[in-house]
Structure 1
Amino acid sequence: MRTTVGIIGAGPAGLFLSHLLHLRGIDSVVLERRDRGHCEARQRAGVVEHGPAAALRAAGVGDRLDREGSVHEGIELRFGGRGHRIDFRALTGRDVVLYAQTEIVKDLIARRLADGGDLRFEAEATAIEDVAEDGAARPRIRFTRGGREEVLDCEHVVACDGFHGIGRAALPADRVRTFAKTYPFSWLGILADAAPACEELVYARHERGFALYSMRSAEVSRLYLQVPNGTDPAEWPHERIWAELDARLAVDGADARPNRGPITDVGVTPMRSFVTEPMRHGRLLLAGDAAHIVPPTGAKGLNLALHDVILLSEALHAWHGGDPGPLDRYSETALRRVWRAEHFSYWMTTLLHPDPEASPFEDRLQLSHLEHIAASRAAAGSLAENYTGIPEP
């Protein structure tokens, strides 16, 4: 079996890359170890930056994003019993769209299949090899499907297979550098069948810990609480969750409690930052979580993945047209945005989460910085610029 670009992983990165390559006349095969139903049900982040939203529209897969997504022109920072709105549109002229990653995956799968795309579910990639052919080394993916091993010969392999996939592990260990940070807290996240009580996301810094008020739709709320690492969700009965959300989201002189409803999902997410350099070795390229992880505070994980594959589609098109330059620069170019997003996510995380190991001095510095953002148009503008997405140069 042979294709031009072998893509491992049918998340938004792998699927969007396959679609973008199709639009440029480049064939691909997507291998995904899970079944289609699993891919279309995975709950992930749902904030789409201004640039990736425009790219989805331009690629013809933005109809449902525009019809069902919720445009957000700002967020609220809540601390000290007060709320402070950061107006993205006024500060940057841009906005973001709240649209679940699950729905993006559904849209892309449907479009690829309608276009005759080769998506192979329940096909687990087991090895990436170099095979000598006509005096050159070409990559090959070994995978198992239906209990049988098969091989896929490619011009290039793009690993969009996440943090635990085989793509990053296939890079030569002596040529790779990794950078990592773990945080002394996690997020307890819930989905609740309750209409959101606010129109925009609320990021709350409270002495008891951080809370985030988000939403999935007009009928479903997505909420998070800062909890210690190693927390067992069983330690948090539903009444305790609601009481803690009420306390952390409180506003002086107003009823700011979230609407309550049946909790349909509870999970704990550790907070970590991770970067692999380089994101390319020969004809093996990494994109998305295979190359970098960010804490979810800055809403950057999905967006970095989409930016990676937008770059890759352009670079692979140039390579097949005889210009290797953009592909040679892919890692360097992608990493500039990655490190900007890593810093912003780190900054948002350390700004809004009381550190259980911090001194009273550091707590006061956090509050002073938040007051500065609330009072300074320049400081608020920097937050807005990074949150909505730094434009391409």
Structure 2
Amino acid sequence: MLAAATPAAAALPVPIPHALPAADRSGTDTHVQVQQALDAMVKAGAPGALARVDDTTGSWTLTSGTADLTTRRDIPHDARFRIASLTKGVVATTILRLAETGRLELDRPVATWLPGAIHDADRITVRRLLNHTSGLADYLDHPSFRDPQSYTRRTWQPQQLVALADGLPRAHPPGERFTYANAGYILLGLLIEKVTGNRLGDEIEHRVLRPAGMTRTRLPLTDPHLHGPHATGYLLPEGADATDPGALEPFTKINPSFAWAAYGLVSDARDVNRFYQALFSGRLIGPASLEQMRTAVDTRQAPVFPHYGLGLATAGLTCGEKWGGTGSIPGYVTFAFADRDGKRRMTISVNVQRNDPKAGEMLIHGVDALNRYFCGTPYPAGPVAGSMPAPAPVPHGRRTP
């Protein structure tokens, strides 16, 4: 999750800078403060960055950099992008809505509805899939996912993805601790289809997108295109020099079947903010279900992304933890968080996925932008101990909140 992003231990941690540049600490106006953080993300290697805020005073959007390194066009304020693991919050909300109507139960084994789908299906509950304590391996750790140029060009069936993960060694026994696994959410997508008899995209549309007013959001199955306004997505190939002006490869057109229920949604910043407003204001699920979504486990990514609930992660800001999520997929990285009642929301989209050791500098400025909006001050990167994990889900087994 860094973002993806979701909190899981990173195999190759990315160091957090010891301090944000002094120049980034000037100014008092919130717009100026956030603009400085976005500019810092671009300076640190992002082609472009967009931030949208929705709160009780209205809405505003800021951008930095460019939507395309060739044409140098501006980033559209209504740009669509692949929201990656923010998809998990939408899928989790769909599960909670089904639980509220008695269609399923969070503490019953997944084998109740999907017998034989995975080994130990009788020991892995729906809740453990939702909060990443199932112990399942991540299919992204399979050798088939070493090369984005390869796995993003083929069509995957959900059952294939689950089988790949099931064939890898378990991270730990079910319920023992948090280990980020996209396979769990693929299983949840299959579960939704099983108990409803409908396609996942239709259930998401009916139970979440339409009630939240998310008219620009869809779950593509194999369609490789981003329809509507968008920024070109980029990928830094493994081993490439991030300082080389030509190192980034355009990576907008992909077959998203590998992501599906785990991180496959396409949306824009307005719709993402609408989701958190509808969820946290109680329009989508009741108070008891929302409390369950916020019942969190430790991620071992404190203090940046310390906790994960049911499809939701926290960002550890200086004025307290905010709920939402992060996402990373070839082409795009996303941060989106809100205050407890959903009255203040911020979504950040960056049109590149980088997994190089210097990516942490770019990512920490995204956390800084969140802190400047929600807390009114820069994020104090200097005192932070530990490392800034690469966003999740990403290739090569590197993951985070």
Q: When you count strand as a share of all residues, which structure comes out higher?
A: 1
Q: When you count helix as a share of all residues, which structure comes out higher?
A: 1
Tell me, yes or no, whether TM beats 0.5: no
TM-score with structure 1 length normalisation? 0.22
TM-score with structure 2 length normalisation? 0.22
Q: Which has the higher contact order (CA 8 A, sep 6+)?
A: 2
Highest CA radius of gyration, 1 or 2?
A: 1
